[in-house]
Amino acid sequence: MVANNLTSVDDALQHILDRAPAITRTEAVALTDSLGRILAENQYVPADVPPADNSAVDGYAVCLADVAAGRPMSVSARIPAGVAPGTLAPGTAARIFTGSEIPEGADAVVMQERVERTDDMILIQAEVSEGQNIRRQGQDLARGDLALAKGKRIRPQEMGLLASMGISQVPVMGRLRVAVLTTGDELVEPGQPLDSGQIYNTNRFTLMGLLAEAGCELVLCETLEDTREATRSTLESAAAKADLIITSGGVSVGEEDHVRAVLEESGKLSLWRMAIKPGKPLAFGEVAGIPVLGLPGNPAAVLVTFLVVAMPYIRKRQGRQDLLPVGEYLPAGFDVTSTSVRREFVRARKQGSAAGLEVVAYPNQSSGVLSSACWGDGLAVVPEHTAIRAGDLITYYPFTELLS
């Protein structure tokens, strides 16, 4: 859908995702280096986890048939974790510890807190049932089952699961190689003094951090001169090194906005101007066959459009399945009285109220106010053509989910 020559957020996302081929490079990395990487192959269980029945508690392994109320039992064995258990002597109990393998002949474990022990004898002071406190072989993972699917992003829990399967080398997708080009002769690197008319290059560092969080490899990071020739030359140079080029600024209609013009003249421009706030002047195209995502120049707009548009694109290029965030519905703690043809992503945060949690908005939503995103912890969505009254349910996306 197009409103006032603006492409809707949904249509723009579909357009971009339809042009997001997964990278094909793969590599094997050590399990210790796999955090945040994307699995390149399905991972099947090579052997049952756990490999044998084991105790879920510290206590005593017994045979249920030998247990009788009020009758003491002798302790015939001690089974620490990691020691082969042997066979339980008939009519006796074995001292056992959490994770220790269950001895042959035992079919229950009694917690030590339910046992009275005197020397080498115990008196069980609780009901005992078959299988009590026993973790069965294959309870977590059964041999041959699919443990983790291709395209899964590896978190600490996936690292632990892979370790439980004995896997030390993990097949992962190669990192997406990204070039970042910021535009503007007025940009100065932090640490340098500012002259009249100059500002610090905020967007370079925002994008560097976002791409690092997204698991990408930064292969080029430069500031473009505000000339058509320099823009064309640097874009072509970046295309020789990167899988994706991200620019900030230079995609509007000003005389010094050369990125969009170069895409039209020397490459391909397939999307321009989105019905999103902040971030209307957003472009998508290619140079020398390499996709170019042209983000706006204002700092808050860069952050928002990266999270809303670039992250789903990056996820698909990485081979992931979870392309879009889910979000949650919460009451709004603010009003929006005037409607817009653009979908607005409001820098916001959750806070408690008398009625429970609500989403409150930063007072200044200007596209140049990056401090709003430091104050906030996510984005609240104001749909197109919609007014919001305090208490209305709205969609809220935490930054952690948008960038995961």
- The yes/no answer on whether domain 326-401 falls in CATH 2.40.340.10 is yes
Structure-token match 């008319």, residue found: 197
In the CATH scheme, what architecture does the domain 52-133 have?
A: Beta Complex (2.170)
Task: Using the predicted structure, report yes or no on whether residue 2 has a pLDDT greater than 60.
Answer: no
What digits encode the pLDDT tens for the residues 369-384?
999 999 999 999 999 9
Which DSSP letter does residue 320 get?
-
Compute the distance between CA of residue 294 and CA of residue 355 in angstroms, rounded to an integer. 42
What mean pLDDT do residues 233-237 have? 93
The torsion angles phi and psi of 326, rounded to 5 degrees, stand at -90, -45
- CA–CA–CA angle 59, 60, 61 (5° rounding): 130
Pick the range with the lowest mean pLDDT from 87-91, 103-107, 262-266: 262-266
Q: What's the average model confidence in pLDDT over 199-218?
A: 95
Residue among 310, 299, 378 at smallest CA distance from 345: 378
Please tell me the class of the 4-24+173-316 domain. Answer: alpha beta
Q: Note the pLDDT of residue 259.
A: 87
Summarize the confidence of residues 252-267 as an average pLDDT. Answer: 79
The DSSP code sequence of 201-239 is -HHHHHHHHHHHHTT-EEEEEEEE-SSHHHHHHHHHHHH
Over residues 376-398, mean pLDDT: 97
Tell me the per-residue pLDDT of 266-317, one tens digit each, with 9 for 90 and over.
Answer: 789 999 899 999 999 999 999 999 999 999 999 999 999 999 999 999 999 9
Q: Which amino acid is at 400?
A: T
> What does the pLDDT look like over 321-370, one tens digit per residue?
899 999 999 999 999 999 999 999 999 999 998 778 999 999 999 999 99
Question: In DSSP terms, which residues pair with 356 in a beta bridge?
Answer: 353
Q: What is the mean pLDDT of residues 58-68?
A: 96
Q: 345, 344, 329, 342: which is closest to 379 by C-alpha?
A: 345
Hey, which bits of 249-366 come out as E strands? Answer: 268-272, 276-277, 283-287, 290-295, 328-331, 343-353, 356-361
Instruction: Show Cβ contacts of residue 196 under 8 Å, excluding neighbours closer than 6 positions.
Output: none
At residue 261, the pLDDT reads: 86
**1 falls in which pLDDT band (50, 70, 90)?**
very low
Class of domain 26-47+143-171: alpha beta
CA angle 8, 269, 295 (to 5 degrees): 60
pLDDT band at 165 (very low <50, low <70, confident <90, very high): very high
> Side-chain half-sphere of 195: how many Cα atoms within 13 Å?
4
**Is residue 6 scored above 90 in pLDDT?**
yes
CB 265 within 8 A of CB 292: no
pLDDT recorded at residue 46: 95
Give the CB-side neighbour count of residue 399, counting CA atoms within 13 A: 16
Q: Which residues pair with 383 in a beta bridge?
A: none
What does the pLDDT read at residue 224?
A: 86
Mean per-residue pLDDT, 212-220: 96
- What pLDDT, on a 0 to 100 scale, did the predictor assign at position 4? 62
Say what percent of the chain tops pLDDT 90.
Answer: 86
Closest alpha carbon to 251 in 309, 205, 176 = 309
Domain residue ranges of the chain, discontinuous segments joined by +: 4-24+173-316, 26-47+143-171, 52-133, 326-401
Average pLDDT (55-76) is 95
Residues above pLDDT 70, as percent of the chain: 98
Least confident of 133-137, 278-282, 396-400: 278-282
pLDDT-derived band at 5 (thresholds 50, 70, 90) equals confident
Task: Give the pLDDT confidence score for residue 188 in this predicted structure.
Answer: 87
- pTM for the model stands at 0.85
User: Helix (H, G, I), strand (E, B), or coil: what is residue 158?
Assistant: helix
